Amino acid sequence: MTKLDLSNKRILVTGGAGFLGKQVVSQLIASGAQADKITVPRSKDYDLCEWEACQRVVDQQDVVIHLAAHVGGIGLNREKPAELFYDNLMMGTQLIHAAYQAGVEKFTCVGTICAYPKFTPVPFKEDDIWNGYPEETNAPYGVAKKALLVQLQAYRQQYGFNGIYLLPVNLYGPEDNFDPSSSHVIPALIRKVHEAQVAGEKQIPVWGDGSPTREFLYSEDAALGIVMGTTDYNDEDPVNLGTNREISIKDLIELICKLMDYDGELVWQTDQPNGQPRRCLDTTRAKERFGFEAQVGFEEGMKRTIAWYRANAQ
């Protein structure tokens, strides 16, 4: 199939007002989409867990990019597993069905790295996604999102519906969630260092022992990958979006301290959980299938994120 020309397409971006969604909208416009033809539904107007809302939002749309999710850290996953399963499954499965019925030309579904099995060989390859059960704390969320991959493959097989499924690794960047009760590791550590500096504290407590590794993708790069997949990829196979570079939590916090000029001591709380030991993606398929490679180096992305936080910290 030829490249999808976005210039005259009506495009729906669920979750388009969020941290990643704003970047996706910007990348769509940079790729030729017309700003006045991009629709970003707001949750106060459309509850996507309701069938009628899904029918209304997809009406007259040519392309749907589904980013909206009910998501949070380990705490929320432990506290509300049923809500996370139900909301993510209902939103996604009804939106896909409504889009198929409405004759939508292209559906891009953004999945989650939590869909991978708890014990996946590193780097994670897309073909390993069914080789085991996800990590227990986020399994309800991960399984709900993984069901959407099956649905898109089934709809392609039976109806010829062109839906793709992308798996971005952990994201970071300006406008991330820096709320200490629900933020992920990078914004949580940036805030922790900043607050220690403001208070003149010479020690920072950090969970675990620093040994786990993680991979991070700058939000602008993730958005670029999502838009490239939308325009250039038309197969049923899921595709990872990442950098194929892992960094230990110890090296991560030391880099943040260096970039923020903090010279205090790190106190490792080894009685606290480490989480999954390693997380790193095989990114070969994205490069081979639609030419995506991350553009922003990790240190550069971290500098931009820290600068944004410092400019906006209350």
Q: Catalytic residue positions?
A: 141
Core vs surface per residue 178-215: b (16+ CB within 10 A) or e: beeeebbbbbbbbbbbbebbeeeeeebebbbebebbbb
In the block, tokens 């993680």 appear at: 214
Q: Are 8 and 34 in contact (CB under 8 A)?
A: yes
Q: Is the peptide bond before 273 cis (omega within 30 degrees of 0)?
A: no
Only one residue has tokens 């809500």, namely: 83
168 marked as binding residue: yes
Residue 18 assigned ligand-binding role: yes
* The two three-digit tokens of residue 63, written as one number: 């392309």
Question: Any known ligand binding at 242?
Answer: no
Rounded CA-CA distance 313/290 in Å is 38
The CA distance from 146 to 128, in Å, is 13
Task: Confirm or deny that 15 is annotated as ligand binding.
Answer: yes
Residue 173 assigned ligand-binding role: no
184 is in an annotated binding site: yes
Q: Which residue from 197, 211, 200, 312 is spatially nearest to 256, judged by alpha carbons?
A: 197
Residue 271 token pair = 């009685």
Is 16 annotated for ligand binding? Answer: yes
Annotated binding site for NADP(+): 15-21, 145, 168-171, 184
Annotated binding site for substrate: 192, 207, 214
Annotated binding site: 15-21, 145, 168-171, 184, 192, 207, 214
